[in-house]
Amino acid sequence: MSATTDTAEQDTNSPPATALTGSGIVTVLERAWERIRNDHPEVPEVTVVTGSGYLVSEPGTITWGHHWAGRWRHDAYGRPRAELFIAGELLNDGGDRLLQTMLHEAAHALAKVRRIVDTCDEGNRYHNGEFLKLAQELGLQRPKKRDKKRGFSACTITEATVHRYRDLIKELDAAALPYLAEPLEGWELPDLPELPDLPEIVPGEDPGETTRVELDPPGPGEDPEPEPAPARSGARLSTQCSCAEPRRLSVTPAQLDAGPILCGLCLKRFTVVEDPATAPRPRRGGRMRPTA
């Protein structure tokens, strides 16, 4: 009897078997979208798809979600329906974070229905004040700072919205959906050898006393020992990554031998450039900011 009770409790706490399949993921996301539509009837129906956000974005960025109006055709008459994309990397970040992205995309969907221009700039990256109004209507709040490139894209979910959808958030958490691991997640760097302790030398200060070892002079008929070659402490290698516009680093052979040096944009190793003069110059500018 006890064994039966334990099994029943385990089944209750485990996610439904259907949620562990691709169709199960879409079903859970569709239910969440329908809940949003129940509260905001103007938000249209969508075709839900998922996949890797890194495969559809610029190097070094991730697309957490997108709304693509008129992407799908659902009947013989060719009536269009929008696409709602949710990144697989987002499915392990919690129900509140997932709902935040879905409300963000619902704001874009509402803009299409009302024929409001809510984005501009190349690739519609800049989210303008009209988008902010729609996002606030759906339960998001203004970001602390407007980004120069993405505008008000980084709207976040409010505490009131979390309370309003607490049952949905609980359902999303309980679903324990399969998810995609982000690049470098779970990677373990090799143990690097410990370097000997060296005296700290402050620029402009005397490095301290040194000791000179006197060698015995060569005996009769012996050739003097050759002077040792000067150490190439300043020798450095030019390396570059695999980006379309590679970035370059100048490193010592010891640094390169200690372990792979990875680029945070293309996630590839920096490799030695045989002829630094012919290598492309590095791209100026910082790392791309993640998208909402």
Tell me phi and psi for residue 132, to 5 degrees. Answer: -60, -40
pLDDT band at 132; cut points 50, 70, 90: very high
Q: Name the residue with higher pLDDT: 152 or 285.
A: 152
- In this structure, the dihedral spanned by the alpha carbons of residues 218, 219, 222 and 226, taken in order and rounded to 10 degrees, is 0
pLDDT tens sequence across 75-130: 788 888 999 999 999 999 999 999 999 999 999 999 999 999 999 877 778 999 99
Q: Name the residue with higher pLDDT: 211 or 30.
A: 30
pLDDT tens sequence across 178-216: 888 876 555 454 555 565 554 444 444 443 444 444 455
Q: Name the residue with higher pLDDT: 87 or 279.
A: 87
The mean pLDDT of 238-266, rounded to a whole number, is: 82
Cα 145 to Cα 150: distance, rounded to the nearest angstrom: 11
Which pLDDT belongs to residue 235?
75
Which pLDDT belongs to residue 286?
39
Which residue is associated with the tokens 């075709």?
47
Per-residue pLDDT at 292 exceeds 70: no
pLDDT band at 61; cut points 50, 70, 90: confident
H runs (alpha helix) in 40-94: none
Looking at every residue in the chain, the average pLDDT score rounds to 77
The mean pLDDT of 220-227, rounded to a whole number, is: 58
* 248 contacts 282 by C-beta, under 8 angstroms: yes
Which pLDDT belongs to residue 46?
95
Cα 133 to Cα 139: distance, rounded to the nearest angstrom: 10
Per-residue pLDDT at 45 exceeds 70: yes
Lowest mean pLDDT among 101-105, 218-222, 281-285: 281-285
Which pLDDT belongs to residue 171?
94
